[in-house]
A and B are shown apart, each in its own frame.
Chain A
Amino acid sequence: MIHSPLPQTDYMASGHVGCPGCGATVAMKFALRALGEKTMLVIPACCWAIIAGSHPQTSLKVPVLHTAFATAGAAASGLRAALDMRGDTETTVVAWAGDGGTFDIGFQALSGAVERNEDFIYVCYDNEAYMNTGVQRSSSTPFGTRTTTTPGTNWKHTRKKNIVEAFAAHRIPYAATASIAYPEDMIRKFQRARELKGGSRFLHVYATCPTGWRVPSDQCIKIARLAVKTRAFPLYEVTDGVRYTLNHDAEPPLPVRDYLSVQGRFKHLTDDDYGEIQAMVDEDWELLKRKVALAPEEARA
């Protein structure tokens, strides 16, 4: 018996080769439950290029177009145009890329596409480094992280790029963050994105990577929840680039240390480092709250 109000059909198959406890697979599962069968995915190089199945296998029950690393935005634009030419306005085109393919390598193509306000949903499932190739830092990797390219005392000393802000600055119709630990919220946002046809929608999905973050696989969802509860990853929506809505108040917040200290990639941090990161989180949160306060109540999402 199921009492859940969530959609129940899965468009993902077992037997995929995601690591045990992979947050990105949970993200795909929820996304497809929300989007349904009439969905076409564009996947550039990323973990999901593998999880979706090496030829001739597929783990997805919707069509997937595999593309080059830098081209998700462009390929999704083209797929949309092709569907429109065939008169198919029902199918939702979804670009599904990791943080490397979004924050770094695919940024140019995506920026161009959303500036044209192309009619697709772009999803960045964010595991905060190039995990598929062996945990190299990306511009999504947070301050304080050790990766294979930021090892030892050379852990990353710059901040994570705020990608939602970047696309809000493009004034796209809809941009939002979502977390695999909050399925109701996440599924609602995907459904909303699907309904807002006609322009670019950007979803930034937090996806734990047990392998790259050096955490036990069973902690996948717990850590995602901690990211929200400590305000390290706030859940919010931006409509038309200016109207901000906070979806989870995280009140009272847990100290960000609670989130960092359970992960191997942050094990080296000192009390001072924790203090510095807490100040960053507090600053970002205050900024976000001010933007939320700017939007008139009735205009919020």
Chain B
Amino acid sequence: MRISRSNVSTEINKTGSWRFVRPGYDEKTAPCSNACPVGQDIARIEMLMGQGMFPAAWETILRENPFPAVCGRVCFHPCERVCNRGEMDSAVGIHHLERFVGDLAIERAYALPHPFYGDEAETDRRATGGKTVAIGGAGPAGLAAAYFLARLGHTCDIYEADSEPGGVLRWGIPWYRLPEDVLKAEISRIVDMGVKIYCQKPITRDFMARAREQYDAVFLGCGYGRSLPLWIPGEEKVLNGLAYLHDIRGGDNTCTGGRAAVIGGGNTAIDVARSLTRLGVEPILVYRRRRQDMPAFDHEVEMALAEGVQLMPLVAPVRIDGGDGGMVLTLQRMRTTRMETAGGRCRVEPDGDRTETLMVDQVYSAIGAEPGENWLFPPEHQPGQLRMSHCILWEHPDARLPVVFGGDLTTPVKSVTDAVASGKQAAMALDTRFRHGGKAIPERLGACRVGDGTALSMEIYLSGRRKTRNPAIVPFSALNTDYFAPAERQAPPVLSPETRCGSFEEVEGAYGRDAAVQEASRCFNCGICNDCDNCRLFCPEVAIYIDGTRCINLDYCKGCGICVVECPRNAMTLEEEAS
């Protein structure tokens, strides 16, 4: 019997000619990364964590931020507010995960990755031509600037006014939020890189005048160490909130029990109030607006209220009378108006003559702060200045060298992570100025932006793999949520309010290893490929193959778009074919 037989493969048909749209791999930016002041590559970090690759996850953080264990605790995690997972069930516990891997790195003494960036050639190029930079202030901004400058091959000396490094981390944030050993471990990693820290040696104007003899540039990140005055009669009886926190962390307790009024609604006020409850004092928070207008992180306010802190909203202090036997705080009742501040908080005005009095034993003020010395203020628009999102570079006419103002002095948001961001921005700006001149800074730094925000990526600066990533931000609607089932967010252990009031023990516990892997697996990994292989699996043309990485054989791809739609995390894009 004769049957005609086919023996030629259909591969001779180049069906790619049918195509009018073209799929491609196109990694994008996750909303969390975009919101992160330091632009951490969170989607990749969580992907690695979910696979149990903790050292690699930690290294990914360290490319953008030297303080995972610290920031995992104290950052106000804007990342979680924009997490796409929040639209399905609840945001990924990004800060808990960061803390988990930060602590693990300390416990296991993970070594800094080498080469840190790109390839060996980059490291070699950076081995010579390093400059020397003086840094004023060993707070988060100064330490971050030193870390990144040292990473870029420069030598740094930090001058710190206080007896130990850390700035606000060491003296302003109570132990129950940031234990001392965690901070010390992360600072010692920077010292081990060769950064010298000189304590009780503040940068002075004299120093600035002679800095040129020893240094090529100066970074000033001295922070806001001086509390703002209340400008009311009896002010001299008021205790300084910041100084009080400093004393506690120094081991001194100056409080004497009883009842205390804490004036202010920011994080310092909350820290003071919560510290007072731990020392047996009954604190009352006196705040001129409403609870929802408080600049303190909501989570912190909630914790404080649970611990028994009382809140008196809509009152402003007008005078303080009395002495050691008890003080009388006279308060003006305030009322809300229809107007809002630039930050979206409600404006208030005095509610007629309505006043009331509050009997307390002490009054603490925590209404804000400013730099310790006036000359540390960055000058208003001067020639030779480059104003960036988080710092100001000034070709100082007197010192005759480049000076960068960073940290609280210049950041738009006064937070630890924004201070780190300013340190990183300063390091990039100075490195660019040293190597390519000051004019090159805006363009070079502009190219390092993560998404459409102000965060800069050191990985991009040094041409790492993230450089090719599309700055477009992945919206929830671009994800294929068929691949994600609802899963409850892992909650770390938290001390009960009763236990908390008795000690300065850390309030929030850490994830265990299993909880960390589970939580990281909840991450959608928005915009990045995690090798799920859906594109290749579903391709009806068998036109996707792996050659080191996934590739599309455009000879055969008909442009059906299945790969793009079935990509759960929007790491592919369909583009119209050029005609």
Nearest CB in chain A: distance from B302 CB, A: 33
B560 with A14: CB separation less than 8 A = no
Interface centre among A1, A10, A18, A20 (most CB of B within 10 A): A20
CA distance A22 to B564 in the complex (A): 15
Number of chain A interface residues as a range:
35 or more
B6 at the interface (CB under 8 A from A): yes
Which residues of chain B come closer than 8 Å to A13, judged between CB atoms? Answer: 9-11, 542
CA distance A221 to B6 in the complex (A): 31
Partner of B556, one of A3, A15, A56: A15
Q: Which residues, 215 to 235 on A, are CB-close (under 8 Å) to B?
A: 216-222, 225
Nearest CB in chain B: distance from A213 CB, A: 14
A136 at the interface (CB under 8 A from B): no
A221 with B13: CB separation less than 8 A = no
Nearest CB in chain B: distance from A76 CB, A: 16
Question: Which residue of the partner chain B has the closest CB to A64?
Answer: B6
Q: List 19 A-B contacts (CB under 8 A).
A: A12-B542, A13-B542, A14-B15, A14-B543, A14-B556, A15-B556, A21-B558, A25-B540, A29-B540, A53-B6, A56-B4, A57-B12, A58-B8, A180-B538, A218-B564, A218-B565, A219-B565, A221-B538, A221-B566
A218 with B553: CB separation less than 8 A = no
CA distance A58 to B533 in the complex (A): 26
Interface centre among B480, B559, B562, B564 (most CB of A within 10 A): B562
CA distance A216 to B482 in the complex (A): 18
A288 at the interface (CB under 8 A from B): no
CA distance A52 to B10 in the complex (A): 8
New A-B contacts (17) at CB < 8 Å, excluding given A13-B10, A57-B12, A218-B574: A10-B542, A15-B15, A16-B13, A20-B19, A21-B562, A25-B541, A26-B538, A29-B540, A56-B4, A57-B9, A58-B8, A58-B9, A217-B560, A218-B561, A221-B566, A222-B480, A222-B482
A55 at the interface (CB under 8 A from B): yes
CA distance A21 to B558 in the complex (A): 8
> Known contacts being A3-B533, A221-B566, is A55 close to B6, with CB within 8 Å?
yes
B residues within 8 Å of A by Cβ? 4-15, 18-19, 480, 482, 531-533, 537-538, 540-543, 546, 553, 555-556, 558-562, 564-566, 574
CA distance A135 to B533 in the complex (A): 33
The contact string, 1 if C-beta is below 8 Å from chain B, for chain A 20-35, is 1111011001000000
A56 with B6: CB separation less than 8 A = yes
> Known contacts being A14-B542, A15-B556, A53-B6, is A4 close to B565, with CB within 8 Å?
no
Which residues of chain B come closer than 8 Å to A217, judged between CB atoms? Answer: 560-562
CA distance A62 to B7 in the complex (A): 11
A299 at the interface (CB under 8 A from B): no
A17 at the interface (CB under 8 A from B): yes
A4 with B10: CB separation less than 8 A = no
A21 with B561: CB separation less than 8 A = yes
Interface centre among A14, A17, A180 (most CB of B within 10 A): A14
Question: Which residue of the partner chain A has the closest CB to B540?
Answer: A25
Nearest CB in chain B: distance from A219 CB, A: 7
Nearest CB in chain B: distance from A72 CB, A: 16
Question: Which residue of the partner chain B has the closest CB to A4?
Answer: B533
Which residues of chain A come closer than 8 Å to B7, judged between CB atoms? Answer: 56, 58
Which residues of chain B come closer than 8 Å to A183, judged between CB atoms? Answer: 537-538
A6 at the interface (CB under 8 A from B): yes
Q: Which residues, 56 to 70 on A, are CB-close (under 8 Å) to B?
A: 56-59, 64
B564 with A15: CB separation less than 8 A = no
A26 with B540: CB separation less than 8 A = yes
B560 with A21: CB separation less than 8 A = yes
Which residues of chain B come closer than 8 Å to A4, judged between CB atoms? Answer: 533, 537
Partner of A16, one of B10, B482, B553, B561: B10
A85 at the interface (CB under 8 A from B): no
Question: Which residue of the partner chain A has the closest CB to B553?
Answer: A14
B9 with A22: CB separation less than 8 A = no
Nearest CB in chain B: distance from A254 CB, A: 11
Question: Which residue of the partner chain A has the closest CB to B480?
Answer: A222
Q: Which 8 A-B pairs have the closest CB atoms?
A: A218-B561, A21-B560, A14-B556, A15-B10, A20-B560, A15-B13, A20-B558, A217-B560
Which residues of chain A come closer than 8 Å to B482, judged between CB atoms? Answer: 222, 225
Which residues of chain B come closer than 8 Å to A29, judged between CB atoms? Answer: 540, 542
